[in-house]
Structures are given as C-alpha cells and as structure tokens.
Structure 1
Amino acid sequence: MKITYKGDYSLKVILELACHYPDKLIHIEDIANRQDIPRKFLEQILLNLKRGGFLVSRKGARGGYALARPPREITLGEVVRYIEGSVYPISCIDCEAPSPCNELSTCIFAPVWRSVGDAISSIIDSVDFEKLKEDYLLKKNGYIPDYQI
C-alpha cells in the first residue's frame, strides 16, 4: 500500500476540519495555508471528499467546508480506501478486484499477502479522526507522553 500526495492531502484536510468540528466552516484559503496544500490541488481534493460524503460546503462570505459527520464516525481506513483504493499489497487477493486471479487457490504467496492486507485494514480501521485530532492537538501544543513507571 502506498499513500499518494492526493491521499496524504485528503487525510490532512479531514484532520484540519476535525479540529474545528462542529463549530465552524473553514475557508479553502485557511486549509491551504495551514496544511501547506497547493490551492488548485486542494480544490480537487475538497470536491472529491464532498462527493464521497465526507464534507459539506456552503458558498459565500460566511461559507467554507466542514465534516459531514462527527470525526469519531470517520476512520482512517474509510478515507484511505475511498482515495487510494484497496489496501492489499497485490490486487489478485482483493475480494473487490475486477478480475480475480485464476491461481489464487494454489498460490503460495496469497496467504502472506492476505495477512498483510488484513493487518493494515485492522490498524487503519481502528483509528478514527477524533483520536487523530486529540493526538494532533497534544503534539501541536508540545505534549510528549511519558510512559515511565
């Protein structure tokens, strides 16, 4: 699995909006500046995330973008799959692949790749944007957890 710039920027947009949920709409310029995303690229990303049901928008001077759902209801996995597609490292083991592999039942590598994809899914599906927001705000404010006993 590889996260593209489009995927990385999309995750940053969701995180930025999670930090302001549900208080206010955020202008595109503010998102671009805070997350260091080129505006033209950001316009495409926002449109795509809106089409995917992640964002809502309002036009005008008091307009902007906001999350369509609470951050705790949006997982990292959901966004990654929407933007990047499958998280499996090889398409032949993906249940949603357009053409399944004819050798899947005898392929010695298939169980390994399936385990890798399942492990990735398990991790990214367990992380929601509420948790990411909390961690981000702590890190932004200079908090470093101390796990000494």
Structure 2
Amino acid sequence: MELSCKSEYALLALLELAAHYSSGEPLQIRQIAAEQNIPDRYLEQLLAVLRRANLVRSQRGARGGYLLAREPWKITLLEVVNCIEGIDTHDAELTREPKSVEGMVIREVWHEAGQAAYAVLQKYTLQDIAEKRDSRRQLDFMYYI
C-alpha cells in the first residue's frame, strides 16, 4: 500500500489544523498551503472533500477558514485515507475466483497485507502523528545544539 500525494496533502493539512485546534481559530487555505507547501487550488479541493466527510468544518467571514470538525484524537488515519481515496475495507475482498492454487495463495496473502494496513491506519489518530512530529522536532532540535 502506497501513500498517494493526495492523501499525504490531506494528512498534512489536517495536521496543521490539529496543531491549531486548541486555539479554536480557523485557518485560511493560504495559511495551511504556505505552512505545508501545498498548492492552494489543490488544497481547496481536498478541504471540500474533507468537509463533506465531516472531518473539517468551514467558517465564513473575514476571520473565516477551516477547523477540525472533531478532536484530533478522534480522527483516525483510516478515516482520512478512506475519505480521500474512496477505499473501503470490503473492497479488499475480490469477487472473482482465483484460477489456480497459486492465485488463491496470492489472494490470501494480499488480503492479509491489506488487513494489516487497515489495522495500522485505524490505530493511529491525528493526535498520535502530531505527537510523533513534535517529538521528532524536539530530537532534531536537541541534535543541533
């Protein structure tokens, strides 16, 4: 399973929103785009998809922008990837029958790999990756002193 550019940008944007969650202040698209180096137009489309999935909410007006719709510890990476990629856990089940024993074995292993990936994505939340990012930044800072 490979992380698409689309999913990576969505996760970066959500991480930026998670970093500002406690302030309660919305972030504008240009702020998120500048901080995470994401093209504005592309980010606008991603945020629209995330809004329809109730992962973010928008606030209109001069001080408007985007906020997380829920607490960062309640949004799993699986929800984000499912929203952006349109993946469902039931899609891992292929409908056509394998033509050989080898095909059946390959399908079983592929299914197991998919289940493991889903389990990992379900395990981590935005809060978890924000904490990992913060601890990595702290280590990098300590390294350069």
**Aligned residue among 129, 133, 136 for 2:126:** 129
SS of equivalent residue, structure 2 residue 91? coil
- Equivalent pairs counted in the alignment come to 138
Q: Which residue of the partner structure matches residue 96 of structure 1?
A: 91
* TM-score, with structure 2 as normaliser: 0.84
Q: 1:130 to 1:105 in 2, by over 3 A?
A: farther
Structure 1 runs not aligned, ≥5 long: 88-93, 145-149
- After TM superposition, which residue ranges in structure 1, 4 or more long, deviate above 4 angstroms? none
**Aligned residue among 101, 105, 110 for 1:113:** 110
Pairwise mapping of residues 5-84 of structure 1 onto structure 2 (< 5 A)?
A: 5-23=5-23, 24-84=25-85
Cα distance per residue 1:62-94 (max 9 Å; x no partner): 11100000011101111112212338xxxxxx6
What is the distance in 1 between the residues matched to 2:118 and 2:93? 20
Structure 2 runs not aligned, ≥5 long: 141-145
SS of equivalent residue, structure 2 residue 7? helix
What is the distance in 1 between the residues matched to 2:10 and 2:105? 36
- Identity over aligned residues, as a percent? 36
Larger deviation, residues 98-107 vs 75-84: 98-107
Question: Shift of the alpha carbon at 1:40?
Answer: 0.8
Q: 1:125 to 1:97 in 2, by over 3 A?
A: closer
The residue type paired with residue 18 of structure 2 is A
Q: Which residue of the partner structure matches residue 143 of structure 2?
A: none
Q: 1:27 to 1:110 in 2, by over 3 A?
A: same
Which structure dedicates a bigger proportion of its chain to helix? 2
What is the distance in 1 between the residues matched to 2:6 and 2:43? 9
Question: Shift of the alpha carbon at 1:52?
Answer: 1.1
What is the distance in 2 between the residues matched to 1:28 and 1:8? 16
* TM-score, with structure 1 as normaliser: 0.82
> RMSD between aligned alpha carbons?
2.4
The residue type paired with residue 11 of structure 1 is L
What is the distance in 1 between the residues matched to 2:95 and 2:67? 38
What is the distance in 1 between the residues matched to 2:112 and 2:94? 20
